[in-house]
């Protein structure tokens, strides 16, 4: 059994989840981790006008304040999504607000966009030298009325536009009251148009919830195509409790294994409907190479993980990349382009 699972994880899991998260982030930011990850042209992906060394990225919410952006590549990540960042700093919800469900290989969180704000992120990114593309995930402050959301997202984008390789409009976190209502096409259109009025234009995506009805997902897809969006991130955490051994009765968004079927279904629907016109980032329940393989076969250009990394430890991405290459050899798949959408 690898050292992480035998020793490090049991010790880390003795700490409250958020303390363990802060410790892990501090370790990554100190540059003390280095994993040997395969560098192989067959893993390279061209997406969002970027060339990425591999398709695996860190999902939003782990490095909310971009404190470790210079180091994630040492753990194998081909890109990192920082944030969710809000215009003004905010403390988030009271603790405890992050829970482990080890038997279900899941987490429940109701962090509520705790972050140091856009100015602090800009200062950090200005002083950083990341070796992989950094996406920036944007959210609105809790106190901001929904009607003021377009102006706020635009101001946030204006502040950070030079520093992100791509941007994600997050309207799918379940932990900011009313936020998910901004997935309504009329509301979202105003936000997207407000951002599009700001230069420089960077690739722009929207992150969706796994709890949308198929018709709502189709409406979002139509909007994305009409507004010239570059892609969709599918998905955020779920408010459903399906797939759990026992419902723990904790409020918040559920991530990890139980989210996987919902996230995969949303991804597949978007892939079928978009017919290659959008870049899709598949997130939700990725733990190993087979999970990443399935997301790509369902149409994902890029794959992100959060919960799988918490359970799998620092070598997770290296294992996934090795596993992808092995399976490509076994099945005679020469590139990820060839695999993409094969399961649709
Ligand atoms: C503790 C925690 C905090 C998160 N914070 C954010 C966030 O700030 N913004 C966001 O878009 N997604 C956030 N997410 C959602 C993840 O980015 C991801 O979409 C979700 O967890 C599903 O992926 P997973 O099953 O690999 O964890 C968070 C998830 C967790 C577990």
Domains, the chain: 3-339 (3.20.20.70)
- Please give the DSSP secondary-structure letter assigned to residue 4: I
* CA–centroid distance, residue 15 to ligand 1 (Å): 20
Residues facing residue 50 across a β-bridge: 47
In degrees and rounded to multiples of 5, residue 98 shows phi and psi of -140, 130
The whole-number mean pLDDT for each consecutive block of 10 residues of the chain, a chain of 344 residues, reads 75 88 90 85 96 98 96 95 98 96 96 97 97 97 95 98 98 87 88 97 97 95 96 97 92 97 98 96 98 98 97 94 98 96 93
Phi-psi category of residue 322: left, alpha or beta, with phi > 0 → left and psi -120 to 50 → alpha: alpha
Q: Which ligand 1 atom sits nearest the alpha carbon of residue 237?
A: 20
Based on the residue annotation, tell me whether 173 is a catalytic residue of this protein.
Answer: yes
Q: Which residue's C-alpha comes closest to atom 10 of ligand 1?
A: 60
* CA–centroid distance, residue 234 to ligand 1 (Å): 11
What 3 state SS string does the chain have? CCHHHHHHHHHHCCCCHHHHHHHHHHHHHCCCCCCCCCCCHHHCEEECCEEECCCEEECCCCCCCCCCCCCHHHHCCCEEEEEEECCCCECCCCCCCEEEEHHHCEEEECCCCCECHHHHHHHHHHCCCCCCCEEEEECCCCCCCHHHHHHHHHHHHHHHHHHCCEEEEECCCCCCCCHHHHHCHHHHHHHHHHHHCCCCCCCEEEEECCCCCHHHHHHHHHHHHHCCCCEEEECCCECCCCCCCCCCCCCCEEEEHHHHHHHHHHHHHHHHHHCCCCEEEEECCCCCHHHHHHHHHCCCCEEEECHHHHHHCCCHHHHHHHHHHHHHHHHCCCCHHHHCCCCC
Q: Which residue's C-alpha comes closest to atom 22 of ligand 1?
A: 284
Q: Give the tokens for residue 265.
A: 């279904």
Ligand 1 site, residue 111, Cβ cutoff 6 A: yes
Ligand 1 mutation pick, 89, 237, 262, max ligand atoms within 8 A of CB: 237
Ligand 1 mutation pick, 16, 59, 257, max ligand atoms within 8 A of CB: 59
Active-site residue (options: 30, 173, 274, 335): 173
Residues facing residue 234 across a β-bridge: 208, 282
Output the pLDDT for position 1. 57
Ligand 1 site, residue 61, Cβ cutoff 6 A: yes
Output the pLDDT for position 5. 77
Tell the residue number behind the tokens 């950090």, with chain if given: 124
Output the pLDDT for position 30. 87
Report the C-alpha gap between 289 and 37 in whole angstroms.
14
Ligand 1 site, residue 93, Cβ cutoff 6 A: no
Q: Which ligand 1 atom sits nearest the alpha carbon of residue 285?
A: 25
Q: Which ligand 1 atom sits nearest the alpha carbon of residue 283?
A: 23
Output the pLDDT for position 312. 93
Indicate the Cα dihedral angle 111, 116, 119, 122, nearest 10°. -80
* CA–centroid distance, residue 126 to ligand 1 (Å): 25
């Amino acid at each position: 059994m690898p050292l992480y699972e035998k020793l490090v994880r049991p010790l880390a899991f003795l700490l409250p989840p958020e303390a363990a998260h802060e410790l892990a982030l501090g370790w990554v930011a100190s540059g003390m981790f280095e994993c040997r990850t395969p560098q192989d042209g067959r893993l390279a992906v061209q997406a969002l006008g970027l060339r990425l060394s591999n398709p695996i990225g860190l999902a939003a919410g782990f490095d909310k304040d971009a404190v470790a952006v210079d180091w994630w590549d040492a753990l194998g990540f081909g890109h990192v999504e920082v944030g969710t960042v809000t215009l003004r700093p905010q403390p988030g919800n009271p603790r405890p607000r992050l829970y482990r469900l080890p038997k279900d290989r899941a987490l429940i969180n109701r962090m509520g966009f705790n972050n140091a704000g856009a100015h602090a992120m800009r200062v950090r990114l200005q002083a950083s030298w990341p070796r992989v593309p950094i996406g920036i995930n944007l959210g609105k402050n809790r106190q901001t009325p929904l009607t003021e959301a377009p102006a706020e997202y635009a101001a946030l984008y204006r502040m950070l536009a030079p520093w992100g390789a791509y941007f994600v409009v997050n309207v799918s976190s379940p932990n900011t009251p009313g936020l998910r209502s901004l997935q309504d096409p009329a509301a979202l259109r105003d936000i997207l148009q407000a951002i599009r009025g700001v230069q420089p234009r960077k690739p722009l995506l929207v992150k969706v919830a796994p709890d949308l009805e198929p018709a709502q997902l189709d409406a979002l897809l139509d909007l994305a195509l009409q507004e010239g969006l570059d892609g969709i991130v599918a998905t955020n955490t779920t408010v459903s409790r399906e797939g759990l051994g026992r419902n723990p009765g904790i409020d918040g968004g559920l991530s990890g294994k139980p989210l996987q079927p919902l996230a995969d279904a949303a991804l597949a629907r978007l892939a079928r409907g978009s017919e290659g016109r959008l870049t899709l980032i598949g997130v939700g329940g990725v733990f190993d190479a087979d999970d990443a393989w399935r997301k790509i076969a369902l149409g994902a250009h890029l794959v992100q993980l959060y919960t799988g990394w918490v359970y799998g430890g620092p070598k997770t991405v290296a294992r996934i990349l090795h596993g992808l290459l092995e399976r490509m050899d076994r099945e005679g798949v020469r590139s990820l382009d060839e695999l993409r959408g094969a399961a649709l």
